[in-house]
């Protein structure tokens, strides 16, 4: 197990050094060469974090500075038969988009949303799970996941970000059909005991719109405020809800004040309903940080101050 981790790290370091050979080459041939070099070590790339290191390393190279030319080279609709190339292509596009948001908009214009749907629904890709076979279990600590797992993960991430930058028309919503929704729900179920980042990415895609997030958050607030249902969730469930809420309250920030207020109201209710004592401090810290932000609007600050004051009176017993 230790050797697997050591080998992966060693190959990653060597790969980054080799990629530096293209750091002064502005030609599109450099892009092709970079992709080929990454493919040579694909089995040692453990997960999205390794790929992020690689992508961020090469995206500063001159070959990636001409957005239009570079995308024309990388973003040709992929051949699903070559999973290694598909994974590298999708990963570079995803991390390219994180650093240059126009990339995501360009992919939307180039009709990549239906392409990503087709990739997710590839018959042999199936409902992948991280730790279902002997090989993956043996490599769990090293995060040496199968190529299908990696392709599925980065496809979900890219799909989610394209949906965030584009409001679909009624015609485009036909893409999100029952088959896709059923698949994503099965993916949530099959990956719930596996890699947290993958499971969370699928949930993010399912709950992509602020309207849906708001509806779910309001429903949870109602459950926690109603005495007969206050203790509906187990401690582990509360931990998950709290973790998601803390992540989302920092993501939404001032973009959607109504949704932000809903999260501010939800987090203390989760704590009072039986989350760990450490969660109490965590929520207070998150809310205080939000209150101190120069970007937080006055009505939100007032709500936070009231909620924190009420939470300070909580002594660990049900109200």
pLDDT band at 319 (very low <50, low <70, confident <90, very high): very low
**Same domain (yes/no): 81, 134:** yes
Token output for 14: 């060597």
- Do residues 194 and 218 both lie within one domain? no
pLDDT of residue 234: 84
Q: Is 19's pLDDT higher than 60? A: yes
Residue partners of 181: CB distance under 8 A and separation at least 6? 206
Q: Which of 166, 187, 208 is the last residue of a domain?
A: 208
- Percentage of residues of the chain with pLDDT beyond 90: 21
CA 53 to chain centre: 16
User: Does 296 share its domain with 266?
Assistant: yes
The rounded distance, in Å, linking the Cα atoms of 111 and 135 is 36
Beta-strand ranges (E) seen in 143-259 are none
Q: What pLDDT is attached to residue 134?
A: 35
pLDDT bin (cut points 50, 70, 90) of residue 2 is very low
Average pLDDT of the chain to the nearest whole number: 81
Q: Write down the pLDDT at residue 17.
A: 92
Q: Is 169 or 181 the better-scoring residue by pLDDT?
A: 181
More confident of the two residues 206 and 257 = 257
> How distant, in Å, are the alpha carbons of 4, 10, 41, 58, 137 from that of 35?
23, 19, 10, 10, 29
Query: Do residue 191 and residue 247 come from a single domain?
Result: no
Could you read off the pLDDT of 290-299 as tens digits, one per residue? 999 888 899 9
The percentage of the chain sitting over the pLDDT mark of 70, rounded to a whole number, equals 82
Structure token pair of residue 79? 């051949």
Cβ(58)–Cβ(49) under 8 Å? no
The DSSP code for 42 is G
Residue 277's SS3 state is: helix
Fill in the DSSP letter of residue 66. Answer: -
Looking at the fold, whether 47 and 116 belong to one and the same domain comes out as no
Residue with tokens 């004040």: 257
Tokens 């790290």 identify what position?
9
User: Of 37, 59, 81, which residue constitutes the final position of a domain?
Assistant: 59
Contacts of 278 (CB under 8 A, 6+ apart): none
Q: How high is the pLDDT of residue 27? A: 85
Mean local confidence (pLDDT), 48-66: 87
For the segment 108-113, the average pLDDT, to the nearest whole number, is 89
Asked if residues 249 and 230 have their Cβ atoms less than 8 Å apart, the reply is no
For the segment 21-43, the average pLDDT, to the nearest whole number, is 88
Window from 143-157, 275-289, 294-308 with minimum mean pLDDT: 143-157
Query: What gap in Å lies between CA 259 and CA 290, rounded to an integer?
Result: 14
Average pLDDT over residues 202-215: 76
Q: Alpha-carbon distance 45 to 39, whole Å?
A: 9
CB-CB contact of 148 with 45 (8 Å):
no
In angstroms, rounded to a whole number, what is the distance separating the alpha carbons of residues 264 and 246?
Answer: 9
List phi, psi (to 5°) of 115.
Answer: -65, -45
Closest CA relative to residue 88, chosen from 131, 135, 31: 31
pLDDT at 79 (0 to 100): 65
**CA–CA distance, 129 with 102 (Å, rounded to integer):** 32
Q: Is 223 exposed, middle or buried (0-12, 13-18, 19+ CB in 10 A)?
A: middle
The pair of three-digit structure tokens given for residue 121, joined into one six-digit string: 């629904």
Residue 113 lies in a domain: yes
Q: pLDDT confidence of 38, banded at 50, 70, 90?
A: very high
Please identify, among 161, 184, 208, the residue that sits at the C-terminal boundary of a domain.
208
Q: Could you tell me the residue range of the domain that residue 76 belongs to?
A: 66-208
Q: Beta-strand (E) ranges in the chain? A: none
Is residue 305 included in any domain, yes or no? yes
Short-list 67, 141, 153, 146, CA closest to 110 = 67
Mean pLDDT of 59-81: 76
Based on the domain organization, do 16 and 99 belong to the same domain?
A: no
Q: How does pLDDT run across 236-283, given as a tens digit for each residue?
A: 888 888 888 888 888 776 668 888 999 999 999 998 887 666 788 899
Residue with the two structure tokens 């799970």: 129
319 domain-assigned:
no
How many structural domains is the chain composed of?
Answer: 3
Pick 31 or 313 by higher pLDDT: 31
Does the pLDDT at position 133 exceed 50?
A: no
Say if CB 34 and CB 22 are below 8 A apart: yes
Residues 41 and 98 grouped into a single domain:
no
Looking at residue 224, its pLDDT comes to 92
| Contact of 150 with 47, CB cutoff 8 Å | yes
Q: What is the pLDDT of residues 91-106, one digit of tens each?
A: 999 999 998 878 999 8
Residue 194 tokens, joined: 């596996």
pLDDT at 260: 92
């Amino acid at each position: 197990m230790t050797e697997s981790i050591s080998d992966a790290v060693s190959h990653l370091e060597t790969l980054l050094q080799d990629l530096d050979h293209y750091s002064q080459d502005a030609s599109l041939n450099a892009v092709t060469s970079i992709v080929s070099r990454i493919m040579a070590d694909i089995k040692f790339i453990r997960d999205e974090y390794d790929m992020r290191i690689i992508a961020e390393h090469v995206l500063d190279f001159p070959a990636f500075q001409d957005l239009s030319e570079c995308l024309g080279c990388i973003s040709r609709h992929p051949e699903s038969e070559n999973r290694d190339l598909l994974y590298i292509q999708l990963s570079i596009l995803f991390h390219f988009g994180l650093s240059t948001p126009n990339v995501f908009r360009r992919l939307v214009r180039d009709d990549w949303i239906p392409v990503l749907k087709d990739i997710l629904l590839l018959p042999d890709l199936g409902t992948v799970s991280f730790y279902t076979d002997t090989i993956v279990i043996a490599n769990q600590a090293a995060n040496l996941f199968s190529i299908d797992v990696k392709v599925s993960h980065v496809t979900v991430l890219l799909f989610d970000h394209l949906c965030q930058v584009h409001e679909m028309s009624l015609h485009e919503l036909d893409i999100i059909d029952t088959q896709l929704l059923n698949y994503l729900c099965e993916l949530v179920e099959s990956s719930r005991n596996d890699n947290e980042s993958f499971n969370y990415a699928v949930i993010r895609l399912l709950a992509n719109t602020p309207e849906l997030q708001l509806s779910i958050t309001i429903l949870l607030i109602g459950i926690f405020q109603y005495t007969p249902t206050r203790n509906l969730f187990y401690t582990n469930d509360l931990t998950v809800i709290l973790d998601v809420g803390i992540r989302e309250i920092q993501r939404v920030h001032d973009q959607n004040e109504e949704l932000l207020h809903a999260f501010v109201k939800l987090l203390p209710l989760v704590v009072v309903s039986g989350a760990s004592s450490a969660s109490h401090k965590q929520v207070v810290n998150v809310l205080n940080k939000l209150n101190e932000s120069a970007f937080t609007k006055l009505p939100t600050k007032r709500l936070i101050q009231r909620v924190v004051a009420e939470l300070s009176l909580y002594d660990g017993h049900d109200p």
